[in-house]
Amino acid sequence: MLLIIVMIIQGVVSGIGQLPAELAAFETLRSPQVSAWSFLVIVATTLIHVLINALVTPLSHIVLVLIYYDLRIRAEGLDLEMMARRLLEAAPAERAPVMAESAGLRQPAGGWSET
């Protein structure tokens, strides 16, 4: 759903940015005489299209990357594991091995230390 919203916003921004160039190109090409001015307007319109798309297109890719990392963290339980580690670090040294065993974590190389 979020990706659809971002793509709609991307299309609207791109369309608004390209509208003046499109109108200028339409007016220029509507005239019966084709001149160097017509060619310049077409080139300018194309450059505007490229620049606006280059600025707006990465938004959808950024959203895709964020969705990917969110789903991966949730699927692997990384957020829960990090929370369990923080709780273990804050726990007294005598309770840490019991809590770690129930959480399925291994003892650190340096052992459990009091903080």
Print pLDDT tens along the chain (115 aa). 777 888 888 888 888 877 887 777 777 767 777 677 777 777 888 888 888 888 888 888 888 899 898 888 888 777 777 777 777 776 665 555 666 666 666 666 666 555 4
The two structure tokens encoding residue 53: 């798309």
What contacts 24+ positions apart, CB below 8 Å, involve 58-61? 59/6, 59/9, 59/10, 60/3, 60/6, 60/7, 60/10
Q: End-to-end CA distance of the chain, in Å?
A: 45
The pLDDT assigned to 108 comes to: 64
Backbone angles phi, psi at 112, to 5 degrees: -85, 125
State the pTM of this model.
Answer: 0.49
